Amino acid sequence: MVTLPFWLFAIVVVFAIIGLIDRIFLPGVRWFFRSRANRAIDELNNRLHLRIQPFKLTKRQALVDQLMYDAEIIKAVEAKALETNTPREVIMRQAAGYAKEIVPHFSSYAYFNIGTRLARWVSTLIYRVRLGFSDDEALKNVDPEATVIFVMNHRSNMDYILVTYMASSSATLSYAVGEWARIWLLETLIKAMGAYFVRRGSGNDLYRKVLTRYVRMATRQGVTQAVFPEGGLSRDGALREPKFGLLSYVVSDFNADDQRDVVFVPVGVNYDRVLEDRILTSRMEKEITGRSFRTSLGGFFGFVWRNISLRLKGKLFRYGYACVSFGAPVSLTAWTESHKVNLRSLGPDERRDKIALLGKDLMKEIGAAVPVLPVSLMATVFLKSGGEWLSELEVKSRTFDLIKVMESNGAHIYIPREDRDYAVSAGLRMLTLRHLVKEKNGLYRMNQTENNLLRYYANSIKHFE
């Protein structure tokens, strides 16, 4: 007989129970939940036009390991170690840290049950969300094996939420998000939705190499992505020149002979009111007028409370319309064939020039997809009036003339309720409520002190004039 103290016997029993659970019960439980998850993913893939690729469902650690054994990253680590006279293991740990920071851990449950539902709730709470133009036939004809990349203009931080909601019935999107989203809990949710973090303006060559290899790996594996070619929010409302960071990572080694096609879907986003408009235009405001716009915690909570109180009183108008349009897809294979170029075989300077040309072509397609909304129409009309007092009839007449011009230039104009009179009324209401337009005895005139903000909204459709 062996005599044991009771406390030691209790510890042995606890560990024995843990061992039984780990070896006998947990494998069955894992198999049960894995089979249910796989069935759910199969059902989602039957519903989605753009299937969830196996790459997204790979365990995060496996993706990190795959990235760390990439030949180019190993070469970059060795070069960094020699350059800085640092042990290779130290540099390797740095690279592994970058990989863990970048690589997401996609969860279909988090994406569809939390992310898209939250995106829908937030979007419809703030805006009247509408789908503008969509080239459905062209989208249906996209090769199901192609890597689809949604390229869009960047008007607001709401873009992430709005487009996720609008595209949720067709695809799961993987965004590149800035360091602003690296907040506890929010970071976990964003990574579970398949997004990856990008350090804007990083001068670290090793970090850029890890990021480049991850983006190329995801692209080669067919992961559907969403990219903002402008690289940041527009501060004056107009479309910006494209930047080539992420775009160059995607296409610089493309060769149609041994890779799946990359298809760019242009997405145009526009709002009757951008939540950050005064922050975005504050620099321009200060340069022109000398006035500074400052935000504070008290001002933020005051803004929230005013909106809550208006909602309780039934007097809160949502911030107008938010509209998303999807243009005709652009095949990278077709583009390279039409320009008679193989991007992989070009030298660095020539490749940069061709990628710049591709970026400009994509921005033209994005610009063509931007929907024209009531507020942007009204802002354009009042800026053109030069401070003249206008009757409602004159406002309507000038708006209808502007619509004709823009339609002749290929613009897709969203007319709420298919009623042009109502569109004018809705736009006037938004501008007068915000004091961007003054009303007196049935006449309307732009508020000269808000000239910059009116120009911000007019600039969103200026390319159609």
* Residue 137 pLDDT: 79
Q: For the chain, which residues make up each domain, given as ranges?
A: 49-126+135-271+326-369, 372-464
Nearest to 457 by CA among 422, 420, 419, 430: 430
Angstrom distance (rounded) from CA 410 to CA 369: 9
User: Does residue 361 carry a pLDDT above 60?
Assistant: yes
Q: Tens of pLDDT along 273-291?
A: 998 898 888 876 655 555 5
In three-state secondary structure terms, 290 is: coil
Query: ∠ CA(193), CA(198), CA(203), 5° rounding?
Result: 170
Nearest to 99 by CA among 250, 211, 217: 211
Determine the average pLDDT of the residues in 37-58.
54
CATH of domain 372-464: 1.10.10
Determine the average pLDDT of the residues in 12-33.
67
In three-state secondary structure terms, 202 is: coil
Nearest to 150 by CA among 276, 50, 43: 50
Q: How confident is the model at residue 299 (pLDDT cuts 50, 70, 90)?
A: low
- 443/232: higher pLDDT: 443
Angstrom distance (rounded) from CA 325 to CA 206: 38
Q: What are 108-115's contacts with CB under 8 Å, separation 24+?
A: 108/37, 108/40, 108/41, 108/44, 108/52, 108/57, 108/172, 109/37, 109/40, 110/189, 110/192, 110/193, 111/172, 111/192, 111/193, 111/194, 112/44, 112/168, 114/189, 114/192, 115/164, 115/189, 115/192, 115/193
* Residue 317 pLDDT: 59
User: Does residue 23 carry a pLDDT above 50?
Assistant: yes
Amino acid 186 reads L
Is the CATH number 3.40.1000 carried by domain 49-126+135-271+326-369?
A: no
Q: How confident is the model at residue 44 (pLDDT cuts 50, 70, 90)?
A: very low
